[in-house]
Amino acid sequence: MRSNFLFAGVLSVAALCLCGPLSAQCIRQDETPVLRETDHGVYNLYDENAPKFITPVPRGYKAVGISHYGRHGSRYYTGGKLKMDQLEDILARAGREGVLTERGKQLLDAYRALLPFIIHREGELTQLGRRQHQGIAERMYRQYPGLFTQDATVTAWSTLVPRCIESMAAFCEQLARLTPKTTVEEEASVYYLGQVSAMQEYIQWYNISYKKYTAALKAVEYNTIAPASLGSILFTRPFLPEDELRDLAAGIWYIYLAVPGIDVSDSRQARAFCYAVDGKAGPDGQEIGSIFDDALWAQLQRAELYSHLSEACGPILHHSVTNIFMVEAILKLADEDLDAGKPFVRLRFGHDTIIMATLKDMGVRGWRKWEACDTLTREQAKEKTEAEWETSRIPMASNLQMIFYRPKNARAKTPVLFKMMLNESELELPIEAVSGRIYDWEAFKAYMAPRIEKGKAEAAPYLKHPYPVR
């Protein structure tokens, strides 16, 4: 499929769905409806107390290794086109020109009080983000202490993005406190990028137009987000061109979603800002309407979903086009570790879209790339894909783990069982289970082999050079 096939009609994500057979594989992992008040998509906070689906390990088996991929923890605002101070400048200029409504003045005052705690920290890891990874590390150690021995192979690799490096450091620092005799080799290097991302730093590897991608996303926003309602709430008269008003709406929205994950020394600033946005928790009990009506909120969510869908399974970005090479590398390294016969823990730290692309590449239930074919139109495929990909299941610090088991006192070459977990809860795979949600490793590899070859063939037109994976 060629990159000019990405957005058809109103630049929909229908073209994200390639031709292929249908199956029951698209069943949602979580059928519980998510309310607007808690559906912050990939900005959701990691819930360590969420109900978990855990299958008892077959009798006589023990854990021998873990392959882990973790998203960075909670971060400061990112995602919008406006920097934090630019957003203040727009509202302040409106105030000087006398066009701010009372609600607009309230928002400006609340944002100015919050700004000193967050200014210039776009995309940085928060203290909560560090604690999230420390908690995951501790639970991993408590559950699998036999894997953290002096002779175990324990490595940690990260992308080159600072919040991912800091997440890795927080995770490994907690392990060092719990198991000081275990050596953890940490790397944030281009050398290991093939194990943790689709090599976004190697743009020269791809025959891909990033300008075309950003233009396509901009067109999606233009056709999706209608910000007039926000303008009428904040300004007494039309004040910004529609494009700038759209950017303002997205900026306020993204900061609002990020606020629960930041550590503000005086939480009153965070509460005041949230009240100015949603009007749900005023200090005097008064409730006012949200500055985002239901339609605008849904439009912002939809544009964000388009962005993640195109990154994770569209034919343009590195996360989607070449993620299959990373998946192949992860499986191969797991095989090498199993053959070595020593306990192993492979830790990787990266981004939400890479987890989504990996789930898609592995065909995990709930992450199907629906495909247009004789019985399914492109529009129907688009709708099914959108309905299935619930990004709220990839919160800050989300993680994908494969846990490997062998019979106790068995030799290194004996059959291996494994389970796959998303956020510490078992996933259902599209192959026959041995027990509950425990699967045969060889059967999974046999299932993945044609998927990997197909994915590599589809990626070939987008590679200028052979994909480098170590």
φ, ψ of residue 399 in degrees (nearest 5):
-150, 145
pLDDT at 415: 84
pLDDT at res. 317? 66
Give yes or no for a contact between 301 and 35, defined as CB atoms under 8 angstroms apart: no
Boundaries of CATH 3.40.50.1240 in the chain? 35-76+125-205+316-365+392-462
Sign of the Cα pseudo-torsion (324, 325, 328, 334, in order)? negative
CA dist 87 → 60, 151, 249, 290, 396 (Å): 60, 53, 10, 18, 24
Which spans in 279-370 are helix H?
A: 294-313, 318-321, 323-340, 352-361
User: How do beta strands 439-440 and 344-350 pair?
Assistant: unpaired
pLDDT at res. 187: 94
Closest listed residue to residue 278, CA positions, set 449, 107, 161: 107
Domain boundaries 35-76+125-205+316-365+392-462, CATH class:
alpha beta
**Non-local CB neighbours of 35 within 8 Å, separated by 6+ positions:** none
pLDDT < 70: residue spans in the chain: 1-39, 199-205, 208-210, 264-266, 281-286, 315-318, 410-413, 470
Report the alpha-carbon distance of residue 195 to residue 425 in Å, rounded.
Answer: 23
Rg (CA), the chain: 23
Pairing of strands 399-407, 184-187: unpaired
Confirm if 419 and 438 have CB atoms less than 8 A apart: yes
pLDDT computed for residue 34 by the predictor: 44
Q: How far apart are CA 181 and CA 262, in angstroms?
A: 33
| CA-to-CA dists, residue 413 to 128, 146, 342, angstroms | 42, 19, 12
Is residue 183 within 8 A of residue 154, CB to CB? The reply is yes
H-type helices in 58-161, by residue range? 84-96, 102-118, 127-143
Distance CA 68, CA 195 (A): 11
Question: Beta strands 417-422 and 399-407: pairing type?
Answer: antiparallel
The three-class DSSP label of residue 25 is helix
* Alpha-carbon gap, residue 229 to 295, rounded angstroms: 9
Instruction: Evaluate the CA torsion angle 3, 4, 7, 11 in order and state its sign.
Output: positive
Neighbours of 6 (CB within 10 A): 22
Rounded to an integer, what distance in angstroms lies between the CA atom of residue 125 and that of residue 158?
14
**Beta-ladder partners of 67:** 346, 402
Q: Which two tokens stand for residue 82?
A: 């406006």
